[in-house]
């Protein structure tokens, strides 16, 4: 009986996604690609898919998009249901990176190494993230511009956020900070009533309930999500899969290994790549745009002779341009704080395994499979005097479930006490995140073999200010958990009393620091390794037009160009970079209709 039901579910799910996607393979090249294109984009992730689609709007040019992974339609249950993102982890659709052992953090992780999943699929990490749509603080972008990134202030980037957005939230449709008709759908998708309880607890502490993508990021918010009718609104689906562009060729399973650069005039000429076990070369008539992400773009530049000269020489790579590629690595660290509750307001293992829930999603696109479990978020300042004057210090993300499965690389004894052993226990997890870390890491080559993953050293928490900021955030979390709204749900801070930090007094600064250094993990927001800035700034790799300094015909468009990581989840800012990069390359202004007097 169960086999019949399961077969019907799979069939219904396949029909549902086929209906939603149309023909997602129409741009994909099945055989050999052409020998030459006007533009070659390397990496079909959150930015690369955007750049490729926008450049292809000019019908007189030919565009090639190279992607090392496969197509999201191969495993619709992985990529289209936002609830199932973790199913893709540690599969062929995940680069599965690990950091170097950390000296001052990751004490509770296996080998003191953090696991960094990255999407290896059309749509990149936008296919495996938590679908939380967050633009960042206006102060982030104004800071970029003040540091010499001309044209990247908030008023200049807001039109690109608007261009990419299709707001489905009724209360925000008339907001000047939102727009309709763009590729990326933004909607709510509340899981349970737990969201209301957390918002009320925040109000109890004096915080406003706000739209954190609007005028002011500060306060508590329901989480806007990149969802369209229960389907993940990834860039691969929305920008590539739904459009048929005769002048765009998408080559999957195509792993770029080197950019060919003419040393006589320092011009990027073409791309070497591996497909089906064979080595190929394709030429670019105009430009090559690297959108592989913070890790892959840095590695490819280094392999191509662009990077710190001493490091390249050490790896026997001829130096084409001496630039600080791989430096300035930044990432958001978060601390998972678990809270039990005494009411059925969260999602448990039985809910996830429910045949009814699967059928509801397969047939109607409704229920828990149609959304993520991230329902509430807060951006908070540690000092009230800074509200309205600078970016927030802390982000809290509330997930309507208790973490119970060890996908985060924790040591077994840490996972045993930190994570929930009963997957049917009701509760929620607070991800307490550092919005603007002071610590800086680096990416370097392990060898000159492109198939060797690079050395990733984020140097988490090496700057003591990061620890102090996180402790300050925990103090706010403590107050939130002690509000009448949380007490009525049976929340008890003692749930976070961990034996591996028992040599410190529970809830002391020393205890929380111990916990932070043991269980702090990546929020998957890696950025900064091809820093954008003035051309005469020796710490930068690309100029404000995203051109690699000293190299003609080569640009970077992904999170690696961030001078400083934005406050919050970075998928939306990366999409914005892709939109703005396409306009720069085309020499066109396509956002005049989105410019508003804000």
Long-range contacts of 277-282 (CB under 8 A, 24+ apart): 280/33, 280/254, 282/33, 282/34, 282/35, 282/36, 282/37, 282/40, 282/64, 282/66
Contact call for residues 521 and 336 (beta carbons, < 8 A): yes
- pTM for the whole structure: 0.96
- Write out the two tokens for 504: 């410190």
- Specify the number of domains making up the chain: 1
- Average pLDDT in the 353-358 region? 89
pLDDT at 14: 52
In a domain, 596, yes or no: no
pLDDT at 475 over 90: yes
Query: Where would I find the beta strands (DSSP E) of 193-328?
Result: 219-222, 227-228, 231-232, 248-251, 255-262, 267-275, 278-290, 306-307, 321-322
pLDDT at 490 over 90: yes
- Average pLDDT in the 96-105 region? 98
To the query of whether residue 525 is one of the catalytic residues in this protein, the response is yes
Contact call for residues 122 and 78 (beta carbons, < 8 A): no
Binding residues for FAD: 121, 125
Backbone angles phi, psi at 360, to 5 degrees: -60, -40
Binding residues: 121, 125
pLDDT band at 226 (very low <50, low <70, confident <90, very high): very high
Q: pLDDT for 31-78, tens place per residue?
A: 779 999 999 999 999 999 999 999 999 999 999 999 999 999 999 888
- Segments forming the whole domain that contains residue 458: 7-589
Looking from the CA of 173 toward its CB, the CA atoms found within 13 Å total 9
**Catalytically annotated residue among 218, 249, 453, 525:** 525
Q: pLDDT for 532-544, tens place per residue?
A: 999 999 999 999 9
pLDDT at 27: 79
Q: Which of 240, 310, 297 is nearest to 554 (CA)?
A: 297
CATH number at residue 510: 3.50.50.60
- Write out the two tokens for 335: 């601390």
In a domain, 384, yes or no: yes
Mean predicted lDDT score pLDDT of the chain:
94
Q: How far apart are CA 395 and CA 432, in angstroms?
A: 6
- Buried b / exposed e over 163-182, threshold 16 CB at 10 Å, is bbbbbbeeebeeeebbbeeb
Contact call for residues 327 and 442 (beta carbons, < 8 A): yes
In a domain, 361, yes or no: yes
Backbone angles phi, psi at 52, to 5 degrees: -60, -45
- Average pLDDT in the 129-157 region? 98
pLDDT at 24 over 90: no
- Average pLDDT in the 235-261 region? 96
Q: How far apart are CA 118 and CA 124, in angstroms?
A: 7
- Write out the two tokens for 204: 């109890």
- Average pLDDT in the 491-517 region? 98
Q: How far apart are CA 88 and CA 85, in angstroms?
A: 6
Q: 444: part of which helix (H) or strand (E)? A: strand 442-444
In a domain, 598, yes or no: no
- Write out the two tokens for 531: 């820093």
In a domain, 255, yes or no: yes
Bridge partners, 409 (sequence order): none
* DSSP state, residue 94: B
pLDDT at 365: 84
Q: pLDDT for 556-568, tens place per residue?
A: 999 999 999 999 9
Contact call for residues 184 and 238 (beta carbons, < 8 A): yes
In a domain, 597, yes or no: no
Contact call for residues 466 and 437 (beta carbons, < 8 A): yes
- Average pLDDT in the 236-260 region? 95
In a domain, 286, yes or no: yes
In a domain, 2, yes or no: no
Note the helical H segments in 428-570.
Answer: 464-481, 484-487, 509-519
pLDDT band at 408 (very low <50, low <70, confident <90, very high): confident
543 to each of 297, 538, 555, how far by Cα in Å? Answer: 16, 11, 9
Coil, helix or strand for 285?
Answer: strand
């Amino acid at each position: 009986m169960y086999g019949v039901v399961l077969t019907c579910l799979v069939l219904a799910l396949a029909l549902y996604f086929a209906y939603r996607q149309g023909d997602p393979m129409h741009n994909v090249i099945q055989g050999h690609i052409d020998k030459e294109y006007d533009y070659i984009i390397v990496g079909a992730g959150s930015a690369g898919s955007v750049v490729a689609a926008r450049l292809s709007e000019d019908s007189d040019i030919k565009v090639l998009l190279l992607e090392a992974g496969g197509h999201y339609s191969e495993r619709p249950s992985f990529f289209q249901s936002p609830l199932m993102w973790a199913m893709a982890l540690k599969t062929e659709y995940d680069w599965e990176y690990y950091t170097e052992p950390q000296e001052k953090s990751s004490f509770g992780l296996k080998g003191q190494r953090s696991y960094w999943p990255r999407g290896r699929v059309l749509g990149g990490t936008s296919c495996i993230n938590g679908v939380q749509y967050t633009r960042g603080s206006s102060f982030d972008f104004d800071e970029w511009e003040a540091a010499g990134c001309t044209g990247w202030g908030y008023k200049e980037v807001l039109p690109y956020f608007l261009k990419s957005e299709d707001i489905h939230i009724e209360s925000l449709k008339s907001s000047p900070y939102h727009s309709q008709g763009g590729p990326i759908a933004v909607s709510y998708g509340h899981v349970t009533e737990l969201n209301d309880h957390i918002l009320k607890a925040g109000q109890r502490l004096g915080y406003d309930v706000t739209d954190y993508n609007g005028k002011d990021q500060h306060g508590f918010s329901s989480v806007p999500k990149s969802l369209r009718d229960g389907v993940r609104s990834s860039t691969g689906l929305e920008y590539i899969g739904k459009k048929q562009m005769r002048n765009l060729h998408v080559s999957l399973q195509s792993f770029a290994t080197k950019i060919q650069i003419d040393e006589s005039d320092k011009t990027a000429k073409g791309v070497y790549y591996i497909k089906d076990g064979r080595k190929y070369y394709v030429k670019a008539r105009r430009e090559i745009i690297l959108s592989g992400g913070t890790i892959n773009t840095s590695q490819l530049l280094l392999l191509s002779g662009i990077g710190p000269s001493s490091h390249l020489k050490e790896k026997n790579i001829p130096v084409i341009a001496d630039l600080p590629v791989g430096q300035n690595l930044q990432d958001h660290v978060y601390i998972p704080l678990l809270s039990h509750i005494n009411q059925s307001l969260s999602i448990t293992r039985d809910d996830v395994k429910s045949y009814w829930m699967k059928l509801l999603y397969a047939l109607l696109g409704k229920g828990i499979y149609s959304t993520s479990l991230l329902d509430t978020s807060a951006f908070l300042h540690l000092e009230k005097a800074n509200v309205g004057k600078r970016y927030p210090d802390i982000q809290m993300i509330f997930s309507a479930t208790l973490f119970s499965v060890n996908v985060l690389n924790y040591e077994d004894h840490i996972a045993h006490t930190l994570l929930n052993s009963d997957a049917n226990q009701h509760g929620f997890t607070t991800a307490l995140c550092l919005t603007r870390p002071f610590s800086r890491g680096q990416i370097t080559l392990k060898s000159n073999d492109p198939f060797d993953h690079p050395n990733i050293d984020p140097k988490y928490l090496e700057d003591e200010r990061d620890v102090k900021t996180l402790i300050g955030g925990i103090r706010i979390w403590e107050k939130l958990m002690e509000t009448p709204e949380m007490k009525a749900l049976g929340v008890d801070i003692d749930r976070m009393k961990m034996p591996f930090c028992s040599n410190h007094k529970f809830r002391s600064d020393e205890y929380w620091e111990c916990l932070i250094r043991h269980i702090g993990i990546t929020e998957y927001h890696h950025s900064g390794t091809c820093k954008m800035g003035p051309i005469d700034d020796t710490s930068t790799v690309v100029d404000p037009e995203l051109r690699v300094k000293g190299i003609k015909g080569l640009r970077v468009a992904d999170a690696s160009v961030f001078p400083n990581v934005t406050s919050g989840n970075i998928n939306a800012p990366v999409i914005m970079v892709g939109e703005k990069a396409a306009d720069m390359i085309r020499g066109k202004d396509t956002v005049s209709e989105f410019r508003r007097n804000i």
